[in-house]
Amino acid sequence: MTKKKDILIKARNITNRFGDHNVHDKLNFEIHESEIIGVVGGSGTGKSVLLRTLIGLHKPTSGTVNVLGTDIHECEPMDFLDAQKLWGVLFQSGALFSNQTVLENIEFQLKEHTDLPRDLIRDIAMMKLKMVGLGDEAAMKYPSELSGGMVKRAALARSLALDPKILFLDEPTSGLDPISAEKFDNLILELVRALNISVFMITHDLDSLARLSDKVAVLLDKKIKVATLKEHLKDPHPWMQDYFHGQRAKGAIA
Amino acid sequence: MQFYTVKRLKRRKEKHLLLKGDWTVENLSEIYKDVSRENFQNWKKTVFDGKNVEGLDTSAAAYLQKLEKDDALHVELKGFSKNHREMFDLVGQYSCKPPSHQQPELTWRTLLMMYGRKAESFWQLGSYILSIFGQFIYNLIQIGAGRQRFRPRSIVYHINEIGIRALPVIFLMAFAISLVMGYQGATQLQNFGATIYTIDLVAISVLREMGVLLTAIMVAGRTGSAFAAQLGTMKLNEEIDALQTMGVSPFNALILPRLAGILIALPVLTFLANIVAFIGLYIYCDIALDITLSQFMNRLGSVITPAHFWTGMIKAPVFALIIGAVGCMQGMQVRHSAEDVGKHTTHAVVQSIFMVILMDSVFSIIFTNLDI
C-alpha cells in the first residue's frame, strides 16, 4: 500500500503537569490508519497518562487531541461519544465487569449503543468470543472464574465489540506466561490485520514490541520519539542504548 | 438514510436488494429495522447485492450471514468485493451457536435442596460467629501468656475510629430521641396532670433500652459495615493471604483489635449517649414543662436505680461482640469480586442489627423473669 495513510488521532502540544512535575512537555503525536505503534518508556514517563489523554479520560494541562476533526477535550458530549466509538480499550487488568458473565460483558456495548434484537447481539458477541479463542464454556463464566490469559482475551473481545478503528492496549501481555503471551501476540496481530485496525500498545515486553509494532514510540525527556525499531537501535541517547541494547533486549531484538 | 434499494424481478421471482453505504454496527439497528420489514416469503430467492457497499464490519457481516443461513428466507449474498468476502470468511470461521442457558427445573426436590442449602449456610455462619468468639477468648489467653503479640496501638486506633469519631452522630441521636420521647410522653401524661412522670418514663426507657439499643444500631451501621468492607477488600487484594504467609495470624492482627476496640468503645458510647439523653430531657422539661433543675434532679435521683443503669449497660459489650463478630465474619466471607464486598457489607449491617434486636428481646425476657 503506497497510498498515504489517514491520521485518526492527532495530539498537538500536549503538556501534562502534576504539581510541579512536568510529565509531558509540548508533545506531538499521531495515530495513523492500520498501524501498530508500540509505546515504551521508563516508569513515570507518562505512558498511561498519554493513553488516558488520547482517549479523553484525562484532560491535559494544555494541548489538543483531535479525533476526526473534533477536539475531544473541548467538544460537546455527543461529539465525544461519536469519537469514542472509534476506539476500544484493553485495560491492564482487563477491567471486565465482575457482576456480568463474559458474554454479557461483550454484549454490553451492543446493548447500550444499538437497538438490535437480543439473539443477534448474542450471535455477534459469541463470534467475538470465538475470535479471541475462547470457547462456549468461558461464555457463561464470571471474570473471577477465569485465568489471567482468559481475562485478557475476554477483555480483548469486549474492546472489539463495536468494531473499533483503533485499539488501545495497556500492557496486553503483562502477567502472562511466555507461551500465553506469544499466543496473545499472534492473536492481536491476526485480528488487527484481518480487521484493519490501528493499535496503540503500551508494553514492557520486548518480544511483543519487536514482533508486533510497525513503529515504536519512546517517551523520553518529556517528549515522544516515533521511529521504526531499527532507527531506535542506532539512537545514541544513553537511555535508548540501555533499553535496546541491555541483556534483556538482546534475545528479543536479535 | 437508506442502506439499500429494492429491485423486483417478477418473472424470475427474485427480489434484489442493492446494498449501499456503510454496513457497520453504527447503522445496523436502522438496517435491521428496514430489512425486517421486507417480505421474503413471496420470492423464490432474495439477493443481497454488495457491489456498492462501502464499509462492512464484523457485526454487519455476521448479520448478513445469519440471514443467508436461515433456510426459510432463501437469501443469497453476491457481488461483494474481495475485502468484504474476506470479512465474511473471517466471520464464518468464528460463527457458532451461543450456549443455551439452562435454568434448573423447579421441582419439589430442587426446592428442598435450595432450603437445605440455605439452612446449612445459615448454620455455618452461626458456627463461624461462635468460632470468632472462641478465637477471641483463646487469643486473649495467648496474649496474657505472652505467646501472641499484643497490639495496643491498633486497638487505640480502632477505639478512635469506632468511638471518638462517632461521638457527634451518637450525641445528636441521643438528644433527639430524648426530646421526641419526652414530647410524646408529656402529651399523654398531661391528660392525667402528671407531666412530672415524663422524667420517669424517658429516664427509665433510655437507661434500660433506648440508649444502648440505638447506640448499638448506629454503631452497627457505621462500624459493622466498615469492618466488612475493610476486611473484604483486604481479602480480595490477597492482603490476608500475605499476612498468613508472613507468619502473622490475621485474627490477631486484624480481627482482635477490631473486636477489642468495639468492646471498649460501645459501652462508653452508650454511657455518654445516656448522659446526653438526660441533658436533652432536662432541656425539654425546662422549656416545655417548666420544671426547674432542682426539681428535675430530685425526680431523676429518686427514679433511677443502679439496676436500671446496669440492665442497660450490661447489654453493651454483648451487642459490641455481636456487631464486631458479624462484621468481621462477613468481611472474611468475601471471595470473588467487588460486588461481593458490597453484598457482604449489606449483610453485615442487616444481620448485626437483626441479632442485636433479637438479643435485646432475650435480655428483656431474662430480666423480667428475674424481676430486675
Closest-CA distance, B94 to chain A, in angstroms, reads 5
Per-residue pLDDT of B76-105, as tens digits, reads 888 888 888 888 888 888 877 767 666 667
Are B95 and A123 within 8 A, CB to CB?
A: yes
pTM of the model: 0.73
Distance, CA of A60 to CA of B135 (rounded, Å): 53
Distance, CA of B189 to CA of B194 (rounded, Å): 5
Distance, CA of A121 to CA of A108 (rounded, Å): 9
Number of neighbours of residue B340 by Cβ within 10 angstroms = 18
Q: Is the confidence at residue B69, as pLDDT, over 60?
A: yes
Q: Which helix (H) or strand (E) holds B324?
A: helix B315-332
Are B62 and A123 within 8 A, CB to CB?
A: yes
Instruction: Give the confidence band of A2 by pLDDT, cuts at 50, 70, 90.
Output: very low
Are B96 and A122 within 8 A, CB to CB?
A: no
Segment among A43-47, B105-109, B318-322 with least mean pLDDT:
B105-109
Closest-CA distance, A98 to chain B, in angstroms, reads 6
- Say how far residue B65 (Cα) sits from the centre of its chain: 45
Q: Is the confidence at residue B344, as pLDDT, over 90?
A: yes
Average pLDDT over residues A137-164: 88
Q: Is the confidence at residue B320, as pLDDT, over 50?
A: yes
Do residues B303 and B115 touch, judged by C-beta distance below 8 A?
Answer: no
Q: Which residues of B touch A (CB under 8 A)?
A: 24-26, 28-29, 32-33, 57-59, 62-63, 66, 86, 90-91, 94-99, 101, 335-339
Contacts of B96 in chain A (CB under 8 A): 126-127, 130, 136
Closest-CA distance, A151 to chain B, in angstroms, reads 14
Contacts of B62 in chain A (CB under 8 A): 120, 123-124, 127
Distance, CA of A103 to CA of A169 (rounded, Å): 20
Q: Which of A97, A163, A196 to mutate to test the interface with B (most CBs of B within 10 A)?
A: A163
Instruction: Specify the pLDDT at position A236.
Output: 86
Per residue, the 3-state secondary structure of chain A, as one string, reads CCCCCCEEEEEEEEEEEECCEEEEEEEEEEEECCCEEEEEECCCCCHHHHHHHHCCCCCCCEEEEEECCEECCCCCHHHHHHHHCCEEEECCCCCCCCCCCHHHHHHHHHHHHCCCCHHHHHHHHHHHHHHCCCCHHHHCCCHHHCCHHHHHHHHHHHHCCCCCCEEEEECCCCCCCHHHHHHHHHHHHHHHHHHCCEEEEECCCHHHHHHHCCEEEEEECCEEEEECHHHHHCCCCHHHHHHHHCHHHHHHCC
Q: Which residue of A has its CA nearest to B92?
A: A127
Are A140 and B99 within 8 A, CB to CB?
A: yes
Q: Is the confidence at residue B6, as pLDDT, over 50?
A: yes
Q: Is the confidence at residue B364, as pLDDT, over 50?
A: yes
Per-residue pLDDT of B187-212, as tens digits, reads 999 899 888 889 999 999 999 999 99
Per-residue pLDDT of A90-135, as tens digits, reads 998 888 888 888 999 999 988 888 888 888 898 899 988 888 888 8
Question: DSSP assignment, residue B192?
Answer: G
Instruction: Specify the pLDDT at position B81.
Output: 87
* Closest-CA residue to A143 (of A89, A180, A97, A88): A97
Are B25 and A114 within 8 A, CB to CB?
A: yes
Q: Is the confidence at residue B281, as pLDDT, over 60?
A: yes
Instruction: Specify the pLDDT at position B227.
Output: 95
Instruction: Specify the pLDDT at position A1.
Output: 40
Average pLDDT over residues A213-228: 88
Instruction: Specify the pLDDT at position B42.
Output: 79
Q: Which of B32, B58, B336 sits opposite A163 (nearest CB)?
A: B58
Q: Is the confidence at residue A142, as pLDDT, over 50?
A: yes
Give the domains, in start order, of chain B with CATH numbers.
4-94 (3.30.750.24), 121-369 (no CATH)
Distance, CA of A195 to CA of B60 (rounded, Å): 13
Share of chain B above pLDDT 70, in %: 98
* Average predicted confidence (pLDDT) for chain B: 89
ipTM of this predicted structure: 0.79
Contact pairs from chain A to chain B, CB under 8 Å: 81
Q: Is the confidence at residue B372, as pLDDT, over 60?
A: yes
Instruction: Specify the pLDDT at position A4.
Output: 61
Q: Which of B28, B94, B336 sits opposite A130 (nearest CB)?
A: B94
Q: Which of A127, A158, A167, A191 to mutate to test the interface with B (most CBs of B within 10 A)?
A: A127
- Do strands A223-227 and B4-9 pair parallel, antiparallel, or not at all (unpaired)? unpaired
User: In b/e form, how buried is each residue of A20-33, taking b as 16+ CB within 10 angstroms?
Assistant: eeebbeebebebbb
Do residues A50 and A5 touch, judged by C-beta distance below 8 A?
Answer: no
Share of chain B above pLDDT 90, in %: 46
Are A163 and B59 within 8 A, CB to CB?
A: yes
In order of A6, A100, A195, A200, B50, the CA distances from A30 in angstroms are 10, 35, 20, 10, 33
- One DSSP character per residue, B163-182 reads TGGGHHHHHHHHHHHHHHHH
Instruction: Give the confidence band of B178 by pLDDT, cuts at 50, 70, 90.
Output: very high
Contacts of A163 in chain B (CB under 8 A): 24-25, 57-59
Average pLDDT over residues B1-22: 84
- Say how far residue B32 (Cα) sits from the centre of its chain: 41
Closest-CA distance, A97 to chain B, in angstroms, reads 9
